Structure 1
Amino acid sequence: MIGKILAGAILVTALVAGAAMYYLQVYYFYEPVTVNGVDDVQMTSMVSGQPEPVLYDDFEAIDASSSPIRYRACFKTTMSHAMLTETYQPYESPEPLTAPGWFDCFDATALGAELEAGRALAFLGTRDVQYGIDRVVAITEDGRGYVWHQINNCGEVIFDGQTAPANCPEPPQGY
């Protein structure tokens, strides 16, 4: 009888812990980003090499302080692919990261397919928004835009515990 009670207690504890972990990963840490309506979406100019605000509407974003790569955003723009490719720096090897299911405007799988098919283009939003992390902006042919954070080449090396290559900026203290 005591064995059944202990097994039941272990099972209930495991279910509660599992539900708590799920809630913490999917809901708890994410917060909506406050929209300022002016420079929520920026892309790096080919001319200046600096991030510049771009035209956008219907912006919504989430972020979490628990990880630098949890940022996700969606927006709409009237800028054409032709204008974008002549004005902003393209981003090599974009890999959209999945968002929580409840943030339904951001579908990383569909966006990845559009990037592979050439129906969406990726641009550098901001290099090293945090050391080793780039903000990437992708825009589809129909003007839907997506933003996420992605680990860059320098970040991959540093976060792996290795010394930064010569082409990377000096990492801040603590890396």
Structure 2
Amino acid sequence: MSGKIIGGGIVAIALIFGALVYYLQEYYYYEEVAASPEEISLTLIGGAPEPILAENIEAIDATSSPIRYRACFTTPMSLSMLTETYEPYAEAVPLVGPRWFGCFDAQEVGEALERGEALAFLGQKDVANGVDRVVAIFEDGRGYVWHQVNEEISK
């Protein structure tokens, strides 16, 4: 009888712990942030970051890690103009965000980057130590921003 109680207690503790970890990873650390259009910037080829035209910005961030930033926006700027002016980002890999932040679909963005339907640009080098801000833009003007570990840390 005491074995069933102990086993049941272990299962109950494991379920509570699992639910707590899920809540912490999905909700607790993230918060919506008010991102201004000036925060959506791309790095000029051989130059510094400069803001681009951005509208309908939705963004989240967390103080627990520099790679938790995600944002979605739209821009009227064409990909041809962007590629002539701004630094491309060759190793862009969008990171999955919390499910409740519905505008950011890392799998869709990643597949579009692989197929060439979206292009990735350097938003800002070393926005945090060893972390770059990456911006991916689709032909229709949808844009996505995330922070990604750069070669300084990934080596």
Task: Place the TM-score, normalised by the shorter chain, in its bin.
Answer: over 0.9
- Normalising by structure 2, we get a TM-score of 0.96
Distance in 2 between residues matched to 1:101 and 1:77, nearest whole Å:
24
SS of residue in 1 equivalent to 2:110:
helix
CA RMSD of aligned residues (A): 1.1
Show the counterpart of 1:10. 10
Distance in 1 between residues matched to 2:26 and 2:18, nearest whole Å:
12
Question: After superposition, what is the alpha-carbon deviation per residue over 1:23-70, rounded to whole angstroms, capped at 9, x for unaligned?
Answer: 0011111011122x34120110125x1111110111011111111111
How far did residue 114 of structure 1 move? 0.8
Distance in 1 between residues matched to 2:59 and 2:37, nearest whole Å:
14
Q: Deviation above 2 Å: which 4+ runs of structure 1?
A: none
SS of residue in 2 equivalent to 1:18:
helix
For CA contacts below 8 A with separation 6 or more, give which structure has more relative contact order.
Answer: 2
Kept in 1, the 8 Å contact 2:37–2:57? The answer is no
Show the counterpart of 2:43. 44
- Normalising by structure 1, we get a TM-score of 0.85
Bigger share in helix: 2
5+ residue gaps, structure 2: none
Where in structure 2 are the equivalents of 1:29-68 lying within 5 Å?
A: 29-35=29-35, 37-46=36-45, 49-68=47-66
Show the counterpart of 1:21. 21
Quick one: which of 106, 116, 119 aligns to 1:118? 116
How far did residue 155 of structure 1 move? 1.9
Question: After superposition, what is the alpha-carbon deviation per residue over 1:126-148, rounded to whole angstroms, capped at 9, x for unaligned?
Answer: 00001110000010011000000
Distance in 2 between residues matched to 1:97 and 1:38, nearest whole Å:
22
5+ residue gaps, structure 1: 158-175
Distance in 1 between residues matched to 2:49 and 2:33, nearest whole Å:
19
Quick one: which of 97, 109, 113 aligns to 1:99? 97
Distance in 1 between residues matched to 2:37 and 2:117, nearest whole Å:
27
